[in-house]
Chain A
Amino acid sequence: MSSPTSVATDTLVEIRGLSKSYWRGSEEIRVFADIDLDIHRGEFLALMGPSGSGKSTLLNIVAGLDHPTSGSVVVEGQDIARMSSRQLATWRSTHVGFIFQFYNLLPVLTAAQNVELPLLLTHLGKKERREHVLAALDLVGLSDRAEHFPGQLSGGQQQRVGIARAVVSDPTIILGDEPTGDLDATSGSEVLDLLERLSGEFGKTILMVTHDPNAAARAKATMHMDKGVLTR
């Protein structure tokens, strides 16, 4: 994890003329078109909008999980829209920390092993990996649950493990797809506390998709997407 910084104003993600369409037979289904967006380093952004508005698609494109139909997504000078699947996979391993709505922990691995997954792709030795994992678990307050399997943890705890997995490789940007969507109010609040801390204390850049206005209120800025139109 990088040392705490104040929120900087330089642009980390620069999205220009971004469009995404799907084809159903000969019919083109446009998700969104010609989106421009700048995400600044250290920003904690919430992206709201009704179901089917295209917010998750935008998040997936920023995460390098999906390709746009046209436009560019430049992250730290690299246009990920032009990368191959293989290049994107490598890029994701160092630049993206992803938090899923349903935690998506591997049930056969312990909390520590789940957190360690992204580090398997690095050149870190076993001991160093262990140190990073324990630091990440400590950050989310679950050091004492390192050897527990997901089935032995509550939903809130599982999501905190998911957050530890997202931050363990110190990524450039943390992306959350409704990270509190499957949690009760208390657990959701704890997760949001963590995200706030990651942004405020560690200067992490966070883009979070949410339906929940209360969750969005915890971000430093909120964007809305409706029928493919993004407003800030």
Chain B
Amino acid sequence: MTVGGLIRANLFRNKKRTFLTVASVAVAFFLYGVLRSVTTTLDAAAAVGSEARLVTSNASGITFTLPEAHANRLRSVPGVTSVSWSNWFGGYYRDPQDFFAQFAIKAESYLAMYPEIQITAGDREAFLRERTAALVGVGLLEKYGWQVGQTITLKGTIFSGDWEFVIRAAYTPAEAAYGDENMFFHYEYLYERTNGQITPGWFVVALDRPESAADIAATIDAQFKNSTAPTKTETERAFQAGFVTMWGNIGFLVRAIGTAVFFAILLVAANTMMMAVRERIGEIAVLKTVGFTDGAVAGLVIVESLLIALVGGALGLALAWSTFQGRNPMQAFFPGNGVTTGTTLLGFGLALLLGMISGAVPALQSARLSVTSALRRVA
């Protein structure tokens, strides 16, 4: 036997209790892994936009559109190299659960502005040629088993009715965070089906020098200040971040829940360790009698507590990691989501902290235990 064997024997003294404690720690760390992945994904989503492109939207909010005529005035602003626009469509495939992002775009200028959308020249031509053509991410093709050339029907929510599209092209995102579950189609198709009632949702403005973005944004907004549709112009990254905040202060909520879970599990683990130590007071006295120092018995308790926390933490994090493997529902809106290395490292750090804190009081009790009084108590 070794000291490790002694620790193992103590851990398995009450298998059911050890299992339940490890399981509760695992559940807590699973929650931590999932919840923190939500915040890291939201942060990543907010950072995906370019600093070299501006987004000009209606000053009253992105649910309000802008006159198409703004495009020409935008093009005339010094430093602007090109202008395109886009609208949120908001339809779904088959039933409302099959929901993904769809954008009506001013196709030619939009694709020229977005190197993130990687598409072959042939596919690009095929998409641009046909009014009802759709360009979909490879993730969507895989998810729904679609093929290029297939006709699909979406049900509109903002724009009611059935909308037929022919998939003419598929794109691969240049970076995972851009996402491969978006669908793009021609603004003209939306315009015609709505009998010309629709105007651009927001403009995307390409700049010659990204460092002049702030000045150009100010110039644009000043130009439309007294128009019928005043604008709000910001970098695409800031726009994206604003879009993400529409989800509410999820970061705060997640952190609050995470903290509460951590403290709850800290109490569970600490209680387990205190119970474990309380029921073996006599044995600790024996260890001290045969020569184990106060520090050594405290160390045994701390290691035991650390093992429970680390094994539980590792199991929980592994479970959280496996949850995000393959296609998952969040990927449509938060591409590239998953348990990051940072989340994993922080998780192990928290598990270490949990083990130390939950073991600290019982370890101190063990160290301070008087052998003579302990033996009197168990006699």
Contact = CB atoms under 8 A, between A and B. Distances in A.
Interface of A: 57, 60, 63, 65-66, 85-86, 89-90, 92-94, 96, 98, 100-102, 104, 106-109, 112-113, 116-118, 120-121, 126, 165
A104 B283 contact: yes
Contacts of A108: 9-10, 12-13
A60 B371 CA distance: 9
A165 B290 contact: yes
B345 interface: no
24 contacts: A60-B372, A65-B289, A86-B293, A86-B295, A89-B292, A90-B293, A92-B290, A92-B291, A102-B379, A104-B375, A106-B9, A106-B286, A108-B9, A108-B12, A109-B1, A109-B6, A109-B9, A112-B1, A113-B6, A117-B286, A117-B290, A120-B2, A121-B291, A121-B292
Contacts of B291: 89-90, 92-94, 118, 121
Given A101-B379, A104-B285, A65 B1 contact: no
Contacts of B10: 108
B5 interface: yes
B289 A98 contact: yes
B286 A121 contact: no
Nearest to A181: B379
B3 interface: yes
Contacts of B283: 104, 106
A162 to B, nearest CB: 9
Contacts of A85: 293-294
A100 B375 contact: yes
Given A60-B372, A66-B372, A108-B10, A89 B293 contact: yes
Contacts of B287: 117
A22 to B, nearest CB: 11
Given A104-B375, A104-B378, A108-B12, 16 more contacts: A57-B372, A63-B289, A85-B293, A89-B288, A90-B291, A92-B291, A104-B282, A104-B283, A104-B285, A106-B286, A108-B10, A112-B1, A113-B6, A117-B287, A118-B290, A121-B290
Contacts, number: 76
A-B CB proximity, top 4 nearest: A93-B291, A108-B9, A89-B293, A118-B290
A112 B372 CA distance: 25
A91 to B, nearest CB: 8
A109 B282 CA distance: 14
A4 B211 CA distance: 93
Contacts of A121: 290-292
A93 B286 CA distance: 12
B368 to A, nearest CB: 10
A92 B371 CA distance: 13
A113 B1 contact: yes
B294 A93 contact: no
Given A108-B13, A109-B1, A89 B294 contact: yes
Nearest to A162: B286
A6 B187 CA distance: 109
A65 B286 contact: no
B361 to A, nearest CB: 20
A107 to B, nearest CB: 8
A102 B379 CA distance: 7
A151 B243 CA distance: 66
Contacts of B295: 86
B289 A113 contact: no
A116 B1 contact: yes
A177 to B, nearest CB: 8
Nearest to A121: B291
A230 B238 CA distance: 88
Instruction: Select the residue from B3, B10, B12, B292 with max chain A CB neighbours within 10 A.
Output: B292
Contacts of A104: 282-283, 285-286, 375, 378
Contacts of A60: 371-372
A28 B311 CA distance: 51
B122 to A, nearest CB: 71
A63 B288 CA distance: 11
Given A102-B378, A104-B286, A86 B372 contact: no
Nearest to B290: A118
Interface in B145-173: none
B2 to A, nearest CB: 7
